[in-house]
Amino acid sequence: MNLLHELDMPVQFLKGVGEAKAKRFECLGIKTIYDLLTYYPRDYQDRSKVKPIFSLQDGQRETFSGMVLGHTNAAFHRKGIKLTKTCVSDGTGYVYILFFGKSNMDKILPPRNKVFVTGRIRRYRGEIQVTDFEYEVIDEKERDLLHTNRIVPIYPLNESVPASIGQRMIRQAVNQAIENFPDIKDMLPTEILLRQQLSDYPTALKNIHLPESHEEYKKARKRLVFDEFFLLQLAFGISQKKIATKEKGIRYFVHGKMVDAFIDSLPFTLTKAQKRVINEIMSDMSQPVPMNRLVHGDVGSGKTVVATCAALIACENGYQTAFMSPTEILAEQHFMTLEHLLAPLKIRLGLLTSSTKKRQRDSLLAMVNEGEINILIGTHSLIQDAVAFKQLGLCIIDEQHRFGVVQRAALKEKARDKNNQPVTPDILVMTATPIPRTLALTLYGDLETSVIDELPPNRQPVITRCRSEQSMDKIFSFIRQEVLDGRQAYIVYPLIEESEEINLKAAAVMFEELKNVFPEFQLGLLHGQMKVQEKDETMTAFYNHQINILVSTTVIEVGIDVSNATIMLIEHAERFGLAQLHQLRGRVGRGAHKSYCILMADKKIADLVNSNTPINLIDDPTTTVFKGTKRLKTMCETNDGFRIAEVDLEIRGPGEFFGTRQHGMPELRIANIVYDVQVLEIARKEAFALIKNDPFLTDIDHQAIKQTFFYEFRDRLELGRVG
């Protein structure tokens, strides 16, 4: 069967759907048969194991069925929400289903109808009640057993979906599609199916929607997860092949004197990891194929020095470098750092941000256009039309996940060779956010990866402790002693100003209070709403030891490198993400002195963090208490950024790891990069092996893969990366 022609058929032509229901399905993003078949269940209910009401266990999630006897409007809930109790009986007992804020219950659950319910059971004041539930009214006339007496799929629905779209409608449509298309062509060659012991595609589709057993479900899911990862890795493999065979790159002479002179001028010795990554970059740049490399390492591992070596190679070969950072404060820090490091080599640097004044901006752009600036550092301002390089050969992108595909492509398009002809520049991506391997393969699978997994020898692990407000006097005494010993401290707050809606301490208010707590010391205030000049002056004063204690918001997450700072105090630490906490902690421990990170939290969370209670027994994993406790407990247990990133990924999930999907996080329908690591690795191996032998899928045996690939990714694929 031709996938493009058959499964692209509008869903309205399925029996029982029609034009009216098809319009409702569009609210779920379902327009075609393929959309419907790949709209996978989010959960399942085993309705073959229905328990009598009298045997329902308190605190357990149970499934039962019974007759709706009627509804009672109970007193208003304490939050002012109307409470309705629906009584259900199966002859062995009575259960009360608690509905909050619902009206017209006679229409929702008509009396005398049979209902299946799965929910959390509680026994309260002599009643059996059910909360956090899902229910379905059962039509006793139906004999197809699609909705009961089996493992029943539960599909994702949300509040924006019309009430007219229900689980039954989706199940019936899916069942029709499976019955009407039993011979869907399998895209995978037989040898891959046999080698990886995968189900065939039609069987996998049937058993993901209507599994006969848990084992059949697991086999189906493995196959569909493989497909999703396989197609994604195929995209990355094609991208790499395209770059290698079609895109014109720059072949650099990498053994000049400039890099050696730079390394010799450094006041420290490079780590083995830094040397290894520099060699990997030099190997890339010596080839005529454009470099596409991701360098990721922990806070303070020395990525900037590594990137600077790449920029010097470009400079010595007569090419310019664009160094793009996501924020002004980070761009400014990179500029100051490089200005200091490259002073002996007389490299010409430029800084371009939205705050650059017009006269200075015009002058800078003219110098860039004439090739008088070797390295231009900036924010999104670098991709504006007015910025024209004479010979751009290298793009360094810091914290790539904060930039969109279009922005990265716009920077690449500015590259020119020595004949002023378009050329594909070398790309070096840096991130101080440690990325789990699974996420790196999913986000940056088209990039070669280098890991700086070693900290400089003078760096000591930061001692991290979690405390509550009751310990504040002792903490202030500790800070006072550290400052008297010549050290410096950060105190970080989540807000700039106090808020009526959120009961959190704010930096601007606490700055005034802390001046009374530490009258003998010089305090500074730093936050994102300050003017650039004010921020620069404050940062410089702290760097020069003119400020003892810096009170700040999270703007210091990146951008300040003060080796004398030994204390990081974070208020309301449970409100911060793990990656952000780790970045903040990375601001201390950058020198030879022992350093400390103190996480201030709600007393309940602080007590749980400091107890020996296993994390899985603390609370429901969906609660803020559980998440906050797990984050802070992890911070106290390890300084390993990659372990922290893995836990962060587990807590937040891949869609939220970087805060937003717009930066290139692929939308996965069924695969989970936290739990499906092994399948991802296998799928990548198979995809790259196939691309090696058939780079553009021209083999007759690979036409089904090619067809599925373009169909699947025609709307979702990042065209700038795959082409």
- Min mean pLDDT across 439-443, 526-530, 590-594 is at 439-443
Ranked by mean pLDDT, the top range of 26-30, 45-49, 365-369 is 365-369
Whether 437 contacts 408, CB under 8 Å = no
Both tokens of 469, joined, read 């407000």
Sign of CA dihedral 636, 639, 640, 645: positive
How much is the pLDDT for 245? 66
- Min mean pLDDT across 16-30, 167-181, 643-657 is at 643-657
What confidence category does residue 81 fall into, taking pLDDT thresholds of 50, 70 and 90? confident
**Mean pLDDT on 421-434:** 84
Tens of pLDDT along 116-152?
A: 888 899 998 889 999 888 787 876 655 556 776 688 8
Both tokens of 52, joined, read 């009598």
Q: Does residue 473 register a pLDDT over 90?
A: yes
How much is the pLDDT for 485? 95
Q: Does residue 661 register a pLDDT over 50?
A: no
Buried b (16+ CB within 10 A) or exposed e, 438-464: bbbbbbbbbbebbbbbbbeeebeebeb
End-to-end Cα distance, the chain: 27
How much is the pLDDT for 119? 85
**Mean pLDDT on 630-659:** 78
Both tokens of 556, joined, read 């210091």
How much is the pLDDT for 522? 96
Across the strands, what pairs with 127? 124
Q: What is the DSSP letter of 495?
A: B
Whether 606 contacts 475, CB under 8 Å = no
Neighbours of 85 (CB within 10 A): 17
**Mean pLDDT on 459-465:** 88
**Mean pLDDT on 449-475:** 88
How much is the pLDDT for 193? 95
Residue 290, classified by CB atoms within 10 Å of its CB into exposed (0-12), middle (13-18) or buried (19+), is buried
Considering the chain, what percentage of its residues have pLDDT values greater than 90? 40
**Mean pLDDT on 549-558:** 81
How much is the pLDDT for 36? 93
Neighbours of 614 (CB within 10 A): 7
Give the count of alpha carbons within 13 A of 654, CB side only.
22
Q: Is 326 helix (H, G, I), strand (E, B) or coil?
A: coil
Ranked by mean pLDDT, the top range of 474-483, 523-532, 547-556 is 474-483
**Mean pLDDT on 471-481:** 96
Please name the residue that has the structure tokens 């790449």: 310
How much is the pLDDT for 618? 55
What confidence category does residue 663 fall into, taking pLDDT thresholds of 50, 70 and 90? very low
Neighbours of 89 (CB within 10 A): 13
Sign of CA dihedral 20, 23, 27, 29: positive
What Rg, from alpha-carbon coordinates, does the chain have? 30
Neighbours of 520 (CB within 10 A): 8
Instruction: Return the closest-CA partner of residue 224 out of 671, 600, 708.
Output: 671
Whether 572 contacts 505, CB under 8 Å = yes
Considering the chain, what percentage of its residues have pLDDT values greater than 70? 87
How much is the pLDDT for 621? 58
How much is the pLDDT for 471? 94
Measured between alpha carbons, how far is 20 from 14 in angstroms, rounded to an integer?
12
Q: Does residue 537 register a pLDDT over 60?
A: yes
Tens of pLDDT along 570-614?
A: 999 998 888 889 889 988 988 888 999 999 999 989 998 998 776
What confidence category does residue 716 fall into, taking pLDDT thresholds of 50, 70 and 90? very low
The three-point CA angle 171-177-178 to 5° equals 90
How much is the pLDDT for 720? 37
**Mean pLDDT on 25-34:** 89
Q: What is the DSSP letter of 100?
A: E
Q: What is the pTM of this model?
A: 0.66
What confidence category does residue 199 fall into, taking pLDDT thresholds of 50, 70 and 90? very high
Both tokens of 203, joined, read 């069987």
Beta strands in 266-338 (DSSP E): 292-297, 320-324
Q: Does residue 24 register a pLDDT over 80?
A: yes
H-helix or E-strand spanning residue 487: none
Q: Does residue 310 register a pLDDT over 90?
A: yes
Higher pLDDT among residues 628 and 438, named by residue: 628
Neighbours of 240 (CB within 10 A): 20
CA distances to 299, 383, 593 from 584, rounded to whole Å, are 9, 29, 17
Residue 613, classified by CB atoms within 10 Å of its CB into exposed (0-12), middle (13-18) or buried (19+), is middle
Measured between alpha carbons, how far is 626 from 624 in angstroms, rounded to an integer?
5
Q: What is the mean pLDDT of the chain?
A: 84
Higher pLDDT among residues 7 and 278, named by residue: 278
Diameter over CA atoms, the chain: 89
Instruction: Return the closest-CA partner of residue 45 out of 161, 171, 196, 154.
Output: 154
Measured between alpha carbons, how far is 624 from 605 in angstroms, rounded to an integer?
10
Residue type at 403 in one-letter notation: F
Beta strands in 484-632 (DSSP E): 488-492, 523-526, 549-552, 565-570, 596-600
Q: Does residue 622 register a pLDDT over 60?
A: no
Beta strands in 368-522 (DSSP E): 375-378, 392-398, 426-431, 448-452, 463-467, 488-492
Whether 281 contacts 293, CB under 8 Å = yes
Residue 642, classified by CB atoms within 10 Å of its CB into exposed (0-12), middle (13-18) or buried (19+), is middle
Question: Where on the phi/psi map is residue 389: left (φ > 0), alpha (ψ -120 to 50), or beta?
Answer: beta
Q: Does residue 108 register a pLDDT over 70?
A: yes
Tens of pLDDT along 222-266?
A: 999 999 999 988 888 887 777 666 677 889 999 889 999 999 998
H-helix or E-strand spanning residue 6: helix 3-6
What confidence category does residue 461 fall into, taking pLDDT thresholds of 50, 70 and 90? confident
How much is the pLDDT for 5? 55
Ranked by mean pLDDT, the top range of 112-121, 353-362, 365-374 is 365-374
Q: Does residue 211 register a pLDDT over 90?
A: yes
Sign of CA dihedral 495, 500, 503, 508: positive
Give the count of alpha carbons within 13 A of 409, CB side only.
11
